[in-house]
Amino acid sequence: MNKMISVLFVCLGNICRSPMAEAVFRDKLEQKGLTGKISVDSAGTGDYHVGKEPHKGTRELLDRNHISYEGMLARQVSYGDWSKFDYIIAMDDQNITDLSRINKETEDVYIAKLMDFVDDPGDENVPDPYYTGNFDYTYELVSEGCSKLLDFILKKHTIS
């Protein structure tokens, strides 16, 4: 039996972008019948919203798209995440910088930005709708990025 692949999505506060990515990725896994083969979680580099549910704008957008975010509560990235996850996927350059401050040991973990998986992305970073207010644009980027990330993982690990 193959080891379950695990993915952690990371943003600043873990209430907008990373829970959106977790929910979207989980939905894509369910649609493809891969729930037992790849696990997914999300966390923030900051502790501003620990224990809170996703932002209202994220919840409304996910509801509109019939994507569940049930049971999601914000948490902060911890040093131990490097031993729990195969992939740590950040939303922007600042998240990458913050992650390297938490743990510089990256040899066993694939760390990248979500948009790194998209050919010719409209943005290299996923803008934070907490500040921009544009949850729809963030969702478009997250959805495309999650599809491409899933394709990458399936190909790399020969999962079907």
Q: List the end-to-end C-alpha distance of the chain, in Å, as a whole number.
A: 13
Contacts of 104 (CB under 8 A, 6+ apart): none
Catalytic residue among 11, 81, 92, 98: 11
128 is catalytic: yes
The structure tokens 């972008």 sit at 17
16 is catalytic: no
With H, G, I as helix, E, B as strand and everything else as coil, classify residue 4: coil
Catalytic residue among 75, 81, 128, 146: 128
17 is catalytic: yes
Catalytic residue among 16, 17, 41, 81: 17
Please say whether the beta carbons of 129 and 117 come within 8 A.
no
Q: Active-site residues: which are they?
A: 11, 17, 128
